[in-house]
Structure 1
């Protein structure tokens, strides 16, 4: 039986690359070869962040990292999603086609399957030209997949117009059993600065959602326990989560692939010196950028809570970086540029997680029984916040003042409120058991993943 070779294509953003990398590492563990395709820009970031670590030593050549151009110049802004989506769609299909031809020719390797991020769904068209089986992977919640999948229906029902904007009411349900969704906070409506760019992003997502019929499998980084209603609404969507980085306790440093910045491991020995359930962990993912006023309030709020805190500030060196206010003491805290988040969240000293509520962070927090303080920034994070606070009831949200700022006093108030609520802590620990049960050998997510691997090997 030949070894299956899988080509994996993530959307070029940190929150999409990490779960697909964890998925790829699992495929390698199960005897597959993986060719992981980043954009040139992100490939460089990933390789630089790995430092001295060598891929071949850890994966015996079964995981290969390659790249193609996203169509933008090196110095262009990749946080402009509208521009990125337009250039990707006009340049990447041809680049991907060329790459596949090169792999077949030079590596003498037959690609058995292409696993594409749902919002890189156009790639399945490219794969079908070569007779490559297509699989779609969704790195966010099942509810968000259901939302994208139902764009045509939402337009037909008059819930959104042809630009993706709210046409009628403020809230709606995709099905009677699913949580309410807010038309003002749809995944595409808060990632663009103006209506022209919003329209470009919406059209791109709509285009990708139309390729779902080309995929034999739909895989999702979630579990039945977390989203029973969304998964029964889309029975073809197979939960294989939570896809976590597997750390080998016997190795001093587990290889960490897919990060854009090198992890600062000094925070782990600092956490070892803190009391159990005492540290407030603060991290907002790779895209969140605060203006100076909000950054100041956050810094002063961390002083005000008078507890140890670990704060990830990844843009410390950039030209647009914010500066710490003169009044900020920070004597009880540690500030790092990037942290090994999963290791941090599993540390016994962590009391709670101030988070932007990206789905990866949400799953990592839930998998470690850590309560949340929710501060969403864009895309699906607003839905995730509502889900954490209102459905799962394992977190609280911050309120903003009339200028749209979360003030230092509000930060202290919510930290105190969360950490004095024993019920939230208990629910978080109960959920941890249910979520992590899925990735045990006989867990449902493991069974689903094994079913997919068996199909690959056939």
Structure 2
């Protein structure tokens, strides 16, 4: 009899792959074999990044299935990705499981799927194997998506997910407030918005098949949202790599930034990173550059290779002694570095978790999806950061950037102390998260 074998499948986006890969690493450390299924496009990127900056546990096998898109099609078109996945990937996943299960000693006994890949629960049901879902986002985000139909019935959105009124809503009195203009599916493209909204409603039905739900959160982070979780849920967050060596990145890290940080004063550096999707036009990019220059503070700025990187004339020369630009950074190691003073972030849930787990205050610049909910947590609930406001042209100006940095780091409210207090609470709950995780392992192996 071989080792227990789990198939893990994330939603094909960076912020979904990394935390599920951390779960896979922990399963492997517990003696469970994992087949980790990326789309072919993302598989190539992960393998290439691994070859330069990392490795994977010997019990984890990285495999791929087609996502149905052509190689040059835009994977940032979330509507197209969601629609094509639903048509193409279920059949490909069935073929993969059938192939693996031909060897009886190697059979898949559990499918662990991203909660937004609910169709994978239907595939597991066909094979009569255990079904578990993983929530890589906040529980507040889950609460929003599972209430999508209620928002439709209550007349807050129409059948395409478009808000009928510009107002603030709360799913419960203990939850963060949300603007109807910033609901997770409210993308500018109306066709894309409709596809995402309808796929969420469909996904809500599929995910009910899950027997277990693992959540990358904790009681101290989201006490008010936990009432929305089904009874079979377990909190296993924060999912932070113990040595800062998170896996599953789409780009290799530029580790030279760690050596650069070693030469900066303690609690001095502005870390600037906006995840894998955020896009700035040229005006906004230059305003950000000028704003960082005006702070007169050292900064580490992650400027992805796919960004249009036209810096202001003379900028690189002027900031060469206190500014470091890299194409991708080992973020967990950066955020745990003593020289970091604050984190200018898009507020993806992984970045949010990593920042508060390392006691780093935030400057919030959300882009889409759950990032606006996460900003509400950071600024309103936890009070560990400030939001960056856009002007009448929808631009965050250089003076706004300069002023908010100063307010965060030298203002009357001591955001650093508040963040360290939250960090202490989160870290105190890690034992409970570990216990929940080992109970999940027992369920996989023994059915308990």
* Bin of the TM-score, shorter chain as denominator length: over 0.9
1:320-361 CA distances to partner (integer Å, 9 max, x unpaired)?
Answer: 623111041222111111100000000000000000000000
Displacement of 1:311 after TM fit? 0.5
Task: Please report how far the alpha carbon of residue 233 of structure 1 lies from its aligned counterpart in structure 2 after TM superposition.
Answer: 3.3
C-alpha contact (below 8 Å) 2:152/2:159 kept by paired residues: yes
Residue 216 of structure 2: which of 212, 217, 221 is its match? 221
Residue 326 (1) aligns with residue 313 (2): yes
Closer/same/farther in 2, CA of residues 272 and 107 from structure 1, 3 Å limit: farther
| Counterpart pick for 2:398 among 396, 408, 424 | 408
Aligned equivalent of 1:195: 190
Alignment partner, residue 251 of structure 1? none
Aligned partner of 1:348 in structure 2 is 338
Q: Secondary structure at 2:116's aligned position in 1?
A: helix
Match of residue 38 from structure 2: 38
Separation of aligned partners in 2, 1:344 and 1:101: 42
Q: How does 1:143-162 map to 2 (within 5 A)?
A: 143-162=140-159
Secondary structure of 1:354's counterpart equals strand
Partner of 1:180: 177
Q: Tell me the equivalent position of 2:421.
A: 430
Q: Does 1:208 align with 2:203?
A: yes
Matches within 5 A, 1:56-455: 59-60=57-58, 62-105=59-102, 108-168=105-165, 170-190=167-187, 193-236=188-231, 237-247=233-243, 256-315=246-305, 318=306, 321-328=308-315, 329-331=318-320, 332-421=322-411, 423-439=414-430, 443-455=431-443
Q: 1:235 and 1:207 mapped to 2: Cα distance?
A: 18
Contact in 2 for aligned 1:133/1:216 (Cα 8 Å): yes
Post-superposition offset of 1:235: 4.8
Q: Distance in 1 between matches of 2:387 and 2:314?
A: 26
> Aligned-pair RMSD on alpha carbons?
1.7
Find the aligned partners of 2:82 and 2:149 in 1 and give their Cα distance. Answer: 20
Contact 1:175 1:233 in 2 (8 A): no
SS in 2 for 1:50: helix
CA distance in 2, matches of 1:386, 1:36: 33
Gaps of 5+ in 2: none
Cα distance in structure 2, aligned partners of 1:80 and 1:107:
40
- Deviations along 1:36-70, whole A, 9 cap, x unmatched? 00000000000001125674xx623x101000000
> 1:395, 1:173 → 2: CA distance?
21
- Inter-partner Cα distance in structure 2 for 1:46 and 1:32: 21
Question: What is the aligned length?
Answer: 441
Distance 1:72 1:300 in 2: 38
CA gap of 1:351–1:180, structure 2 versus 1, over 3 A, is same
Q: Deviations over 1:242-261 (max 9, x none)?
A: 1112318xxxxx5x530011
Q: Counterparts of 2:52 and 2:336 in 1: how far apart (Å)?
A: 26
- Say which SS state the counterpart of residue 341 (structure 2) adopts: strand
CA shift in 2, pair 1:107/1:417, >3 Å: farther
Instruction: Output the CA distance in 2 between the equivalents of 1:247 and 1:54.
Output: 12
Equivalent-residue separation in structure 2 for 1:291 and 1:96 (angstroms) = 38
Question: Given the superposition, is the C-alpha separation of residues 326 and 54 from structure 1 closer, same or farther in structure 2, using an over 3 Å criterion?
Answer: closer
Matched-pair contact (CA < 8 Å) for 2:303–2:309 = no
d(CA) in 1 for partners of 2:363 and 2:312? 23
Q: Could you list the per-position Cα deviations for residues 14-53 of structure 1 after superposition, in whole angstroms to 9, with x for gaps in the alignment? A: 0000000011101111111111000000000000011256
Change (3 A) 1:52 1:178: closer
Contact 1:291 1:322 in 2 (8 A): no
Distance 1:122 1:196 in 2: 22
- Report SS of the residue matched to 2:344: strand
Aligned mates of 1:310, 1:410 — CA distance in 2:
19
Alpha-carbon contact 1:302-1:330 (below 8 Å) kept: no
Bigger mean CA offset, 364-373 vs 376-385: 376-385
User: Aligned pair in 2 of structure 1 residues 54, 375: CA closer, same or farther (>3 Å)?
Assistant: closer
Instruction: Tell me, in whole angstroms, the C-alpha distance in 1 between the residues paired with 2:408 and 2:133.
Output: 38
